[in-house]
Amino acid sequence: MSGNYIERVYAKEVRAFKEISVEFSKGFNFIAGENGVGKTSILAIISHCTNIRSFTESKFTENSELHFDAIHNNERIRCGHGEGSIKIGGYREDTLRLHNTPSDKGAENRRLLHAYELESKKINLSPLFIGAVRSISYLGLEGIKKENNKVHCQNQYRQASTMSLINGSGTSVKQWIINRYFIIDKGWAWEEKNNFEHFTSRLAKLAPFDSDFKYVDTGRDMEPVFELHGKKCYLEQLSSGFQSVLTIVTSIIEWIEKCNDEGSRDIRTASGTVIIDELDAHLHPEWQLRIRDGLEVIFPNVQFIVTTHSPHLIASAKENEVIVMRKSDDDTYDLKAESKSYSGWTTDQILKDVMGVKGLDNKLYAVLIDDAFDKLADKDIRALEESIVNLEKVTHPDDTICMVLRTKLAGLKAVSDEDIATVMMDTRGVVKSSLAARPTRGRVKSSLVARPTRGRAKSSLVARPTRGRARFDLTDKPAKEIEDETTEVTKPFDDLKVTD
Q: Residue 144's pLDDT is what?
A: 66
Answer yes or no: are the C-beta atoms of 340 and 353 closer than 8 Å: no
pLDDT digits 0-9 by tens, 11-36: 999 999 999 999 999 999 999 998 88
C-alpha–C-alpha distance, residues 431 and 53, integer Å: 101
pLDDT < 70 stretches in the chain? 1-2, 135-147, 169-170, 359-362, 417-500
Instruction: For residue 115, count other CB atoms closer than 10 A to its CB.
Output: 24
C-alpha–C-alpha distance, residues 348 and 497, integer Å: 40
The partner residues of 307 in beta bridges, in order of sequence, read 31
For 139, 248, 269, 287, 328, the CA distances from 197, given in Å and listed in that order, are: 24, 17, 15, 22, 47
Task: Record the pTM.
Answer: 0.75
C-alpha–C-alpha distance, residues 486 and 225, integer Å: 77
C-alpha–C-alpha distance, residues 305 and 250, integer Å: 17
Q: Residue 141's pLDDT is what?
A: 57
For 119, 193, 360, the CA distances from 261, given in Å and listed in that order, are: 17, 16, 52
Residue type, 92: R
pLDDT digits 0-9 by tens, 296-341: 999 999 999 999 999 999 999 999 999 999 999 999 999 999 999 9
Residue type, 373: F
Answer yes or no: are the C-beta atoms of 428 and 452 closer than 8 Å: yes
Q: Domains along the chain?
A: 5-353 (3.40.50.300), 363-421 (no CATH), 432-499 (no CATH)
The partner residues of 276 in beta bridges, in order of sequence, read 130, 306
Q: Residue 418's pLDDT is what?
A: 65
Q: Residue 486's pLDDT is what?
A: 45
For the chain, give the secondary structure using H, E and C: CCCCEEEEEEEEEECCEEEEEEECCCCEEEEEECCCCCHHHHHHHHHHHCCCCCCCCCCEEEEEEEEEEEEECCEEEEEEECCCCEECCCCCCCEECCCCCCCCCCCCCCEEEEHHHHHHCCCCCCCEEECCCCCCCCCCCCCCCCCCCHHHHHHHHHHCHHHHHHHCCCCCHHHHHHHHHHHCCCHHHHHHHHHHHHHHHCHHHHCCCCCCCEEEEECCCCCEEEEECCEEEEHHHCCHHHHHHHHHHHHHHHHHHHCCCCCCCCCCCCCEEEEECCCCCCCCHHHHHHHHHHHHHHCCCEEEEEECCCHHHHHHCCCCCEEEECCCCCCEEEECCCCCCCCCCCHHHHHHHCCCCCCHHHCHHHHHHHHHHHHHHHCCHHHHHHHHHHHHCCCCCCCHHHHHHHHHHHHHHHHHHHHHHCCCCCCCCCCEEEEEEEEECCEEEEEEEEECCCCCECCCCEEEEECCEEEEECCCECHHHHHHHHHHHHHHHCCCEEEC
Q: Residue 166's pLDDT is what?
A: 84
Answer yes or no: are the C-beta atoms of 265 and 124 closer than 8 Å: no
C-alpha–C-alpha distance, residues 267 and 254, integer Å: 10
How far from each other are the two terminal CA atoms of the chain, in whole angstroms?
Answer: 87
